[in-house]
Amino acid sequence: MAYVTMRFAANYAVVRSALTVSLAAKPSREQVLALAARSAAMPINDDTVSMTGPVAATKYTDRNTSVTLTAKPGSGYKGSIELHYSRIPLSKYFPDPRWLLPATATETTIHALLPAINAAYGVNLSTAEIADAPVPANATTVTLEALAGSYVFQEGSRFAFATPLANVVTKRQTKGFYPNNPYEDQTIFDLMFEPTQSGTMLIDRKANYAFTRYTGTGAVEVDPADGLQGLNLKGNGLFQAPYDATTMNPNAQDFTIEARIKVPSITPQRFPIFNRLVTSSTSGSFAFGLVQGKLDFLWTTNGTNSTSRRVTAAAALQPNREYDVSVSRNGSVIRIYVDGVLVGTATSVTTIWVGPSNLFIGGDTGSSGATTYAGTGWIKALRYTLGVGRYPEAYSPKNIPLISRVLTRKMDGFSPKDQAQILLQFKGNYENSGPLPMTPAVASSISIVDGAGKFSGGGLRNAGTVNLGALTYACDFALDDHYTVEWFQRKVTPSTNVASVNQVMWVLEGANGGTVAIQYYSSSFYIYDVNGTTVATIPAPWPANADHQHIALSVNKEDNVCRVFFNGVLLGQFTSANMTPLAKMTRLRLTNLGTVNVPLTAFYLSEFAITKGRAKYTANFTPPSAPLI
Amino acid sequence: MFKPVFYKTGLETTFVQFLKEATMSLTSALTFEHVMKDSGYGANYSGYGLAASEYYPGYYQDTGWRPDTGVSANTYYFKGNTATVSNWYQFHGPSLTVNHSANSDNTKDRSWFSCKFLVDKPPPECSMLWYQDVPILTASSFITGVVNSYAFRADVCVDRLRDEIRVYVDDKLVQTTPFWRKLSRQPTSQIRFGSNQKINLGSSGPLAVYSYFAIWFKDIIFYDDTGDDTLCSPVGDYNIVRLPVVNAAGTGWTFSGTGPQLTNVLNNIPFNSSNHVTPIASSPDGTAPLTYGLDVSPLADDAVIEGLFTLHNGAAQNTGVTTLRLTYKQGELATPQQIIPYLTPRTYEYGVKTPIVQKSPANVRWTKQALAQVSVETVAFR
């Protein structure tokens, strides 16, 4: 039998820039010279010709301007030529009409903003060709107007940048709940099930928790029924978040758990939605889910099953239909709702007792850790609010696409405008490709493995043993500012189990002995502040492959919020004033910490950058797909 | 006496680019996005609108000139070895051979090709070589000293009116080479990158600093003069943008395993030999159409689109010659069908191309809006 296989089908469009970046980056006069040189069979520049003009011209109906080039003595040419071309409106000039700059903090002027505009758009406007005008504080656009005498622009033409709604309104093909306001602060987590790289890490919009797959094959996928993302639980496993009693325990507080679910069958005994439950619990629990298709909330009050209580709906749900389900505690009353309709009530509720165990979505585990009651079906949205019972009475579910959530999503990648002060690419040497003078010192255990870098450079590997040295750089760098550290790291081999690896990635050493550092250990990032104190521990299960992973620490000095990203996904954030005290950074150390010498045997590190003055990443972003420079 | 150094008409046409785009006839385009990093010593890159291959003479073969590791969009590929190269022999350098004659219309007054490069510490003698090893773009003509990670675009004009080749680097003319016996008209003309002599860089001494040199290639396009009353000038910057597959459906197409949908499979450009799922059409007889739409979001709303081409990767098996017939449809309108031989005997063949289609089914220039309405239909034949 004959057959045909297909592995992929890739479609490409060949797209041309009306004006090249390199051309637009030149001053207007040089643009004209460059264009003249394009089809001339001689070098045309200030060494070979002089140029007069531009002047208005009418000789050709479609060319409004002329300049005159005259060959200079000694150039090997002689004579003059009049060139006709059209100066263009400003509106035709910018390939990207969006406003790319941040809102202006204070009142300023067009001329004061020109350097930033030039850098952002790769152009080279001068104050001589653009009219000056005041720009009010908080402006997210400006209007440019061309002055007379510009080589490129029509006098009087104007152009106003626009900020597209897409920049400030998320467009996620997922479902979600009505915007949280006024309960944003009380929302513990809000899962949106947006596409992720692996499909096995759940994105908490609040960035408080990273639910990772514990067992099985459940994943964030597109539901063919509606084309929207959701968590597809396949009856063989569950997702888990770390134990966190402080912020998660309901105790005597009001709370709300709400979800959109769809199950293919109501026959299974349970469809667990969200719970802190050990099946044979002796240490307290609560669980929200379906019991043979009926909505159910179970809890214990003193840590034993003997005092567990539950409220269960009388009727089962229908299979293959999506429902809004919720449980809301208001004072001593717990109510459960299906599509906003009250289906069960429990009164005289006291303190809900919860012991130390992990939180699960889509299943629970027995005391041995084995999965029990793994659900089969879809969870399309899931939110937990603590301190507020959102639904004291029947309500109309307001599940709406998250497009309505106004969130600023700044997509930032590596680009020349980032101007990283420290930029290591290990392209055959240890030199800093950034502008900061740094003196590398290399221990004998350090090597660059060609081809192991993310882009053009190699991968840094410390193949020494304990107590062998690091790669260090002596520097003199004031880092008392916002800053972003980002780098790529990959396993040496896909099969390496890095969960147990104790690995220091980098250390910023200050003048007074202070160190800011990141360590990877036991599937978590440990972040150390300048006092050497562990200021945050952020779970980060490493994917089971040897792909390059992009990791970033983005530190905002103003509000002291520090965020850690893994492949562009916000893993966690914390607030610390001790992450930006390095008035003088004297040394950068890679692959070990002074007192914890553990070599970088399991990883390659590459494309390492420190950008000063910017907390580049504030929300999920697309990891850089181009080299650092 | 005034030396006639300007083509007045050409100049004026160039300047009109501010208002009106220069016309060109795009013939070929190549991108390296699909080069698998574990492809070993695969040396042929085909299916991108033109064919290119590594060139080496079989001796003095250095080991490092291989596709760059990692595959991601918008990346330069095919790099040199950054390890020490003490003795750099002819063709030891990154020698990507592109058959120019197969990709240009030799009957036109001018043909062009443009290529994007990234170079790192190139030796001054490193050159783009024309047929019979004539250097047409030598590093020393536009690079001074040692440069790290220097990116540029080279526009090469094969000017048959003047019997010369001119090379512009980032829009600046840097090198002119007269033809020797009009070689541009020879059907075997090629483009290579390397050196035309043996160069001892050494491990010490003044040239040792170049011993870590490397070159990356990115997108390459070929285009010709359209033959109208003006001469085609460099078109400026360009990009080759991948448009992912959406809403794939395949009557008669099946694939093993669970989880991935047909759309996912078709978008899953394999990084290596094991991370893909293969949909299969049994007994192809023209009744198993595979259709999908294009995700045009990577394009700017006002993108100037010169053409569209598609790459299929897979294999016809247990049969003699199988063909694919591809059609771009826009509602009731369809482009002329492209009949493509589809015989990729090796398991990880790189792909089968369709020619570049320069206009939409409505016979007007492609726009983002037009591409958003296009469905691609592919039928397998035996």
Name the one residue in this structure whose structure tokens are 């570049």. Answer: B356
**Residue B57 CA from chain centroid, whole number:** 23
Phi, psi for B183 (deg, rounded to 5)? -65, -20
Q: Is a pLDDT exceeding 80 seen at residue A217?
A: yes
Contacts of A424 in chain B (CB under 8 A): none
Yes or no, beta carbons of A5 and B303 under 8 Å apart: no
Contacts of A20 in chain B (CB under 8 A): 153, 170-171, 236-237
Yes or no, beta carbons of A217 and B21 under 8 Å apart: no
Q: What dihedral do alpha carbons A173, A174, A180, A181 form, nearest 10°?
A: 10
Distance CA B13, CA A377 (A): 63
Yes or no, beta carbons of A22 and B170 under 8 Å apart: yes
Helices marked H in A170-269? 245-248
Distance CA A83, CA A68 (A): 6
Asked if the C-beta of A409 comes within 8 angstroms of chain B's C-beta atoms, the answer is: no
Strand segments (E) across A148-262: 158-160, 175-176, 187-191, 201-202, 211-213, 219-223, 228-234, 239-241, 255-262
Neighbours of A526 (CB within 10 A): 18
Residue A61 in tokens: 């109906």
Lowest mean pLDDT among A245-254, A318-327, B2-11: B2-11
How close A18 gets to chain B, by Cα (Å)? 7
Tell me which H or E stretch contains A119.
helix A110-121
Name the one residue in this structure whose structure tokens are 């790192």. Answer: B120
Name the one residue in this structure whose structure tokens are 């790099």. Answer: B79
Distance CA A259, CA A577 (A): 37
How close B233 gets to chain A, by Cα (Å)? 6
A to B CB pairs, distance under 8 Å: 310
Residue B186 pLDDT: 52
Residues above pLDDT 90, as percent of chain B: 5
Q: What is the mean pLDDT of chain B?
A: 68
Yes or no, beta carbons of A42 and B314 under 8 Å apart: no
Residue B59 CB partners (closer than 8 Å, separation 6+)? none
Tell me which H or E stretch contains A134.
strand A134-135
Check: pTM over 0.90? Answer yes or no. no
According to the per-residue pLDDT averaged within each range, which of A287-301, A405-419, B65-79 is highest? A287-301
B17-37 pLDDT, tens digit per residue, is 333 344 567 888 877 666 544
| CB nearest to A18's CB, from B21, B79, B266 | B21
Yes or no, beta carbons of A8 and B270 under 8 Å apart: yes
Residue A508 in tokens: 């910023």
Burial class (CB in 10 A: 0-12, 13-18, 19+), B249: middle
According to the per-residue pLDDT averaged within each range, which of A112-116, A122-126, A506-510 is highest? A112-116
Query: What ipTM does this complex have?
Result: 0.80
Neighbouring-strand partners of residue B129: B135, B192
Q: What is the mean pLDDT of residues A20-35?
A: 71
**Residue from A629, A575, A305 nearest A454 by CA:** A629
Residue B84 pLDDT: 53
Contacts of A233 in chain B (CB under 8 A): none
Burial class (CB in 10 A: 0-12, 13-18, 19+), A423: buried
Phi, psi for B80 (deg, rounded to 5)? -90, 180
Q: What is the mean pLDDT of residues A551-570?
A: 91
A438-454 pLDDT, tens digit per residue, is 888 888 778 888 878 88
Residue A216 in tokens: 């099985």
Higher pLDDT, A342 or B149: A342
A514-528 pLDDT, tens digit per residue, is 688 888 887 889 898
Phi, psi for B300 (deg, rounded to 5)? -70, 155
Distance CA A608, CA A434 (A): 11
3-state SS of A497-541 is CCCCCCEEEEEEEECCCCEEEEEEECCEEEEECCECCEEEEEECC
- Do residues B217 and B115 make contact, with C-beta atoms less than 8 angstroms apart? yes
Q: What is the mean pLDDT of residues A529-533?
A: 82
Asked if the C-beta of A20 comes within 8 angstroms of chain B's C-beta atoms, the answer is: yes
